[in-house]
Amino acid sequence: MPALKVVIASTHLGERFINDLRADFPGVAFAPAYSPADAAREARDADVFFGWPDKRTFETARKLQWIACPGAGVDRIVAIEEIVNSTVLLTNAPGPHVAPMADYTLGVMLALAHRLPQSVKEQEKREWNTARYERKIVELAGKTIGLYGLGAIGRAIAKRAAGFDMTLYAVDPHPAEVPANVKACWPMSGLDQMCQIADWIIITAPLTVETRRSMDRRRLALMKRDAYVIVVSRGGVVDQPALVDALKEGRLAGAALDATEPEPLDAASPLWDMPNVIITPHVSALSPEMYEGRRRIFRENVRRFIVGDELLHLCDKRAGF
């Protein structure tokens, strides 16, 4: 019998990846388990769980040592108190998602600034109406970005924004580094000030107890009437009903949401029909390069786990990232 059992409870990295892992680590038993019932059954004697275990699955896992989150955000996992209070290690896979998410952010900013969603709809109807756009195009140069979260995604956005001659500020309680073109990085107490001065608020913060709905009705009301909100990390950071009201009442110029609360976004949400809102189904990171990067991380961590080396990207379960 193999000395180590790894449950693969997500097809996030592709079903063929299991065959690649079996070839790389012939002494390890890799058990696919894609339904909740299969995951709970296979987890009983597993050492490693790759995926997002629910409470029932975790409670059945008698010898579990490590949970490998396939993605970057671990909020669904640390929402389970029993996991947080356990000695089970938790890793995530940050890094590979950074470039495509930063690209997405600048893409939707340009799309909103140049009213491209409206242009596409008019193209489909073969409409040509230049007057409709007069004095309604927004230039990015000279505008201010407020980055709510200065982790790897925030820094990548700052790097790209440098080419657009924009001014940048950030809020992050524990920034690893502050890019030279970010004029100031404040703790959470600076969020109000950033809301007041930014033309674009970009949500790149993880979802934690501190950040949940922290972009609330009061803070949205502090923003300029011609400002935009871009959500790329977690929808729960923003009070979504308050955002809907602000957009309905013309107190914000627009928004782009790749992350919503809940997901999928309720079909009855008014956000779907707003002409100044771009909605994408949590896809900003899904490039082939991102998936390959996450495969490399998990493969390397399996190797480290086998030989007893420290795992890459260990998370602080109580901090939530």
> 23-46 pLDDT, tens per residue?
999 999 999 999 999 999 999 999
Rounded distance between C-alpha atoms, residue 32 and residue 36, angstroms: 11
Task: Report the first-to-last Cα separation within the chain, whole angstroms.
Answer: 35
| Active-site pick, 97, 234, 294, 295 | 234
Q: Is 92 helix (H, G, I), strand (E, B) or coil?
A: coil
pLDDT, mean over the chain: 96
Q: Which residues contact 71 (CB under 8 A, 6 or more apart)?
A: 12, 92, 93, 97, 294
Greatest Cα pair distance, the chain, in angstroms, is 73
CB 79 within 8 A of CB 37: no
Q: How many residues does the chain have?
A: 321
Q: Is 235 helix (H, G, I), strand (E, B) or coil?
A: helix
CATH fold of the domain at 98-279? Rossmann fold (3.40.50)
Q: Provide, rounded to the nearest whole percent, the portion of the chain with pLDDT above 90.
A: 97
Instruction: Reply yes or no on whether the pLDDT at 1 is more than 60.
Output: no
CB 21 within 8 A of CB 302: yes
Of 22, 2, 5, nearest in space to 66 by CA: 5
- Hey, do 4-95+288-307 and 98-279 end up sharing a CATH topology, with the first three levels equal? yes
Q: Once rounded to an integer, what is the mean pLDDT over residues 292-318?
A: 97
Please give the CATH superfamily to which domain 4-95+288-307 belongs. NAD(P)-binding Rossmann-like Domain (3.40.50.720)
Q: Once rounded to an integer, what is the mean pLDDT over residues 196-219?
A: 97
| Active-site pick, 139, 177, 263, 292 | 263
| Bridge partner list, 66 | 48, 89
Structural domain spans, the chain: 4-95+288-307, 98-279
| Active-site pick, 41, 160, 282, 299 | 282
Q: What is the pLDDT of residue 2?
A: 62
Residue 82 catalytic? no
Residue 263 catalytic? yes
Q: What is the pLDDT of residue 14?
A: 84
Q: Tokens in use for 26?
A: 């012939």
Residue 234 catalytic? yes
Q: What is the pLDDT of residue 269?
A: 98
